[in-house]
Amino acid sequence: MISTSTRMESNNVDYKQIITEIIKKQIVILGPQIAILKARGVEGLKVSDEGEVISVEGPGQIILQKLIDEYVLLSGEIVKNAVNSIFEKYPSIKKH
């Protein structure tokens, strides 16, 4: 049996990975300056200059959704399609 704290740590790692992957995909689509600037604007999310997530502070699901919302505001359906393919690789994380 996995303890709650171990599950939460694992879940946090999943959020860091999925958010990093989303940022990296947006770097390709939007360019590094815009993609990273938008990610850094999400409260609770710390991102390196390369687009790697350094930390997720707060509820991962909410931070993930705020990041997606930021990118969707910029490029709408393109982002939704790109993000959907990434979510398929993380069945433990629900998309709202």
**pLDDT truncated to tens, each residue of the chain (96 aa)?**
444 455 556 678 899 999 999 999 999 988 999 999 999 999 999 999 999 999 999 999 999 999 999 998 887 767 777 788 888 888 888 776
| Count of all residues that appear for the chain in the document | 96
Chain CA centroid to CA 32, Å: 15
Q: What is the pTM of this model?
A: 0.74
Task: For residue 94, tell me if it sits in a domain.
Answer: no
Token reading at 59: 């509820």
Helices and strands, number each (H, E), in the chain: 4, 2
- Position 47 scores a pLDDT of 98
- Position 2 scores a pLDDT of 45
Task: For residue 51, tell me if it sits in a domain.
Answer: yes
How many independent structural domains does the chain possess?
1
Calpha distance 14→11 (Å, rounded): 5
Domain that holds residue 27: 4-87
Task: For residue 96, tell me if it sits in a domain.
Answer: no
Token reading at 86: 């990434």
- Position 80 scores a pLDDT of 77
